[in-house]
Each structure stands twice: as structure tokens, then as C-alpha cells.
Amino acid sequence: MAEAREQVEAKRLAYGWNFPHVWLSFLAAIFLQSLILPCMCMEGTVKGWIALGVDMLVLIRVAIAWVRNETGRGWLFYVILLYTSAFWIEGIVWLYTGHH
């Protein structure tokens, strides 16, 4: 029983990254970032630059994973990072600007 479970887990990890889900998370992140982060002030500009920087870093990392045909569940970290980026960027800027 345990051996069969290990075989299933090994087969699942050998598949590689779920790139369609990663691309979907990019779209969701861009939508949420454009919905939550903008404001007509310097603070909004800073939020936009931070979001762009995070998106570009993740895009570079995903490209490296694609070129190297990486396997495993590392892509989940980047999907979660992208889905939540608008919220934690907002929180970081809020804390940094002294609104607490």
C-alpha cells in the first residue's frame, strides 16, 4: 500500500511545472494589482513599480524553470506569490508610509 502511494507521488512529481496555472496566476495578479494598488499619488506609483518588479522576477524564474524542464512543486510558491501580490504589496507600502 505504501509502495503504491510512493509510486503515485513519484510519478506526480516527475511531471514538471503546471505552466498553464502559472500563466493564469499572472493574469489574476495583473488584474488584482491594477484593481487594488492604483491611486493618484506617488504612493500609487511606488506600488506599481514594486508590482512590476515582482512580476518580472517571477517571469524570469518561470522562464528558467521552463528552459531547464524543472520538476516538482516549486511552481506553487510562485503561483501563491502572484495571487497574493496585490495584497502584500499594499500592506508593505501601508506599513512603510507610517499609516499604522
Q: Are 47 and 90 in contact (CB under 8 A)?
A: yes
Q: Which three cell numbers stand for residue 97?
A: 508610509
Summarize pLDDT for 54-86 with one digit per residue, the tens.
999 999 999 999 999 888 888 889 999 999 998
Q: What residues contact 86, with CB distance under 8 A and at least 6 apart?
A: 29, 32, 33, 35, 36, 37, 51
pLDDT of residue 89: 87
Provide the whole-model pTM: 0.70
pLDDT of residue 64: 94
Averaged pLDDT, 37-48 = 78
Averaged pLDDT, 84-97 = 86
Between 49-53, 61-65, 94-98, the lowest mean confidence (pLDDT) is in 94-98
Q: Considering the chain, what is the average pLDDT of its residues?
A: 82
pLDDT of residue 12: 54
